Structure 1
């Protein structure tokens, strides 16, 4: 029997946002006084070791976006990216919306999400995840993202935005940059009962 494997790379969508949009998000992370930064956690573990994940995260409710122009501008670009994704992959246009919480993350030199993982699990916070989105806020050519089954490496380039499915077939990890700090913004599209949610 001959098995013709599907090219799974095709479901990883890449686009680029303006660098000044990234600068606005970095400014928000550095100067926001509304929300508290915290060490990054792995959702299915009580304790996260720095050998597995090392970051300082700012978790933001999506409902806050409309109150800050820097976030609002970014989400307008993100909305258009999802419109394009669903036009290309019409079957993926299932009832979904942006997750209630998204994260801006800072990684020190040598930091990152260093172990293989995927985004949709049986954890109560992850079980409804449909698609993942991430934008690199800094240039880290040696500190990008590796996809296991696709044998794919995506370098971190400021403004580069990636959307991909949350399932196990897209197991991935961050490659630590030993020379430079790194920042990203990331979150999920989550399944809902009905209708595609508005991106606020």
Structure 2
């Protein structure tokens, strides 16, 4: 492994333009979206919608699962090449999908995605799809001085570990829409 970017997966067009536009339109029309329940104002400000428990979002949930499954396999091969050995993984599942809107004044400060669930699952990988292209601002910035520009349909994956702190820069003159998920793992 040369540097941390070897563990960062980026792929354009993981979702089609039509799918991204459809998700944004449906998100805007969904009256159940809201600021996160456990919002910490020092960390972030956004409007969120968890869709994986909603039947009206089943079609999108399935599209996201297919995208994630396809790219997870490619990403694990990339990691194996970077670290020089196969990636050993126990039981794995995704955490479901949350659509997030960051308006012009919204922010996400430095953080890392390490976390555990009450039933013993821990976050292994962070996944972000960008639903729209941001012309100015809005990049995802990693602490190792690497920025990713939001492009419609792009997917990124990276370790949900202490050494991958990142933040979302404020979008300028437009809202930024993303979908987040995590790969969770636990010992069998």
Tell me which interval the TM-score lies in, with the shorter structure as reference length: 0.7 to 0.9
CA 1:169 to 1:125, structure 2 compared with 1: closer, same or farther past 3 Å? farther
Relative to the length of structure 1, the TM-score reads: 0.78
Query: Which of 136, 139, 146 is the matching residue for 2:133?
Result: 139
Q: Name 2:8's counterpart in structure 1.
A: 12
1:114-133 mapped onto 2 (5 Å cutoff): 115-121=109-115, 128-133=122-127
Residue-by-residue CA offset, 1:38-69 (whole Å, 9 max, x unaligned): 2135xxxx5522x53111100123x6579622
1:70, CA displacement in angstroms? 2.8
1:146/1:154 contact within 8 Å kept:
yes
Aligned residues: 179
Q: Which runs of 5+ in 1 are unaligned?
A: 195-200
Counterpart residue number, 1:69? 59
3-state SS in 2 of match to 1:76 = helix
Deviations 1:77-120 (A, max 9, x none): 22101111122224445121101x4210011112131x110000
> Structure 1's 106 and 19: CA in aligned 2 closer, same or farther, altered over 3 A?
same
Alignment gaps of 5+ in structure 2: 81-85
* CA distance in 1: counterparts of 2:102 and 2:119, whole angstroms: 23
Matched-pair contact (CA < 8 Å) for 1:147–1:172: yes
CA distance in 2, matches of 1:192, 1:122: 10
* Counterpart-to-counterpart distance in 2, 1:118 and 1:145: 12
Tell me the SS of whatever aligns to 2:51: strand
Q: CA deviation at 1:155?
A: 0.9
Q: State the partner residue of 1:112.
A: 107
Q: CA RMSD in A?
A: 2.6
Aligned to 2:98: 103
For the residues of structure 2 that align with 1:173 and 1:126, how far apart are their CA atoms? Answer: 27
Match of 2:158 among 161, 164, 172: 164
Q: Give the distance between the partners of 1:55 and 1:22, measured in 2 at CA.
A: 18
Residue of 76, 83, 86 corresponding to 1:86: 76
Name the residue aligned to 1:177: 171
